[in-house]
Amino acid sequence: MKNFCKFCGQEKQLIKAHIIPRHFHLNYENETYAAINAKTGDWKQCKTGTYDKNILCSECDNNILGKFDDEAYRILLNDIYNYTEYKYNQNILYHLTENDFDYTLFRNFFISVLWRASISKTEEFSNVNLGPYEDIALKIMQNKIDNDELFKVLIFKYPKGLENNAIVHLSKVKAKHETYCLSMAGYLILIFINGKNIPLNYIKYYGTFFLNSKNLYILESPDFYKKHCQHIYDLRDSSKKLISYLQKKYDKLGHI
């Protein structure tokens, strides 16, 4: 059986390629994290995250997608605190201008995570299906097309030291329009597949904060953290294991 890399299309030896890069599992070398199965609602403890050995060759994973990963890691986990623009109570707004980040690399990171999950056959990401946008995502990452109206990114950050930061999860949001929610490394990222279909309430309240080539805004808010935790609790009917886990994790925070 011949093995073809999904990115370059060439017959290559394929590697164990992570869907969500392992560096976005905080302190991954020493700790385990809660990975939630988007299909079943079950969770499992893991160290390095889910990988697929049937999608990428080493050259594409390391030399191309790896550059996307490096830029996201630099911004989200290394440099973010250097760009604090505004503080109010416990809310913080981080702001990077076009000279502070590489828009193409950074945006391609989020596109690549969705694309990897969409082409993967692993059960954990079985509800991630980009359909006709799968090939478009590939062409954007290959610099064959450029469409800023697609894959619009909105980034929220959780405060430090909270248990929800340990959850790594990617799933489709139950909404009218195709939207995916990515939780990792203390961030919650919303990715709207088609910018023309972004709900009006998001445009009204967060329009300024969407990632663009000139500005990167990241909002840190404990209120948003609490709201998202409540959303997770709403899953209690679909997974006893998940709720058992959350109860253990959040009891000390007084959330349950």
pLDDT at site 232: 46
Q: Check if the beta carbon of residue 56 is closer than 8 Å to that of residue 42.
A: no
Q: What is the pLDDT of residues 58-114, one digit of tens each?
A: 999 999 999 999 999 999 999 999 999 988 877 899 999 999 999 999 999 999 999
Distance, in Å, from the CA atom of 245 to the CA atom of 42, rounded to the nearest integer, reads: 10
Tokens representing residue 53 in the block: 């050995």
The half-sphere exposure of 207 on its side-chain side, counting CA atoms within 13 A, is: 8
Distance, in Å, from the CA atom of 213 to the CA atom of 95, rounded to the nearest integer, reads: 13
Share of residues in the chain with pLDDT > 90 (%): 50
The half-sphere exposure of 9 on its side-chain side, counting CA atoms within 13 A, is: 4
Tokens representing residue 40 in the block: 């079943």
Mean pLDDT of the chain: 82
Single-letter code of the amino acid located at 175: A
- Asked if the model's pLDDT at residue 152 lies above 90, the reply is yes
Distance, in Å, from the CA atom of 125 to the CA atom of 24, rounded to the nearest integer, reads: 17
Tokens representing residue 44 in the block: 């499992």
pLDDT at site 86: 86
Q: Check if the beta carbon of residue 80 is closer than 8 Å to that of residue 159.
A: no
Q: Check if the beta carbon of residue 211 is closer than 8 Å to that of residue 221.
A: no
pLDDT at site 37: 57
**For the chain, how many residues are written?**
256
Confidence (pTM): 0.82
DSSP-derived 3-state class of residue 164: helix
Q: What is the pLDDT of residues 4-60, one digit of tens each?
A: 999 999 999 999 999 998 888 765 445 555 555 555 556 555 555 678 999 999 999
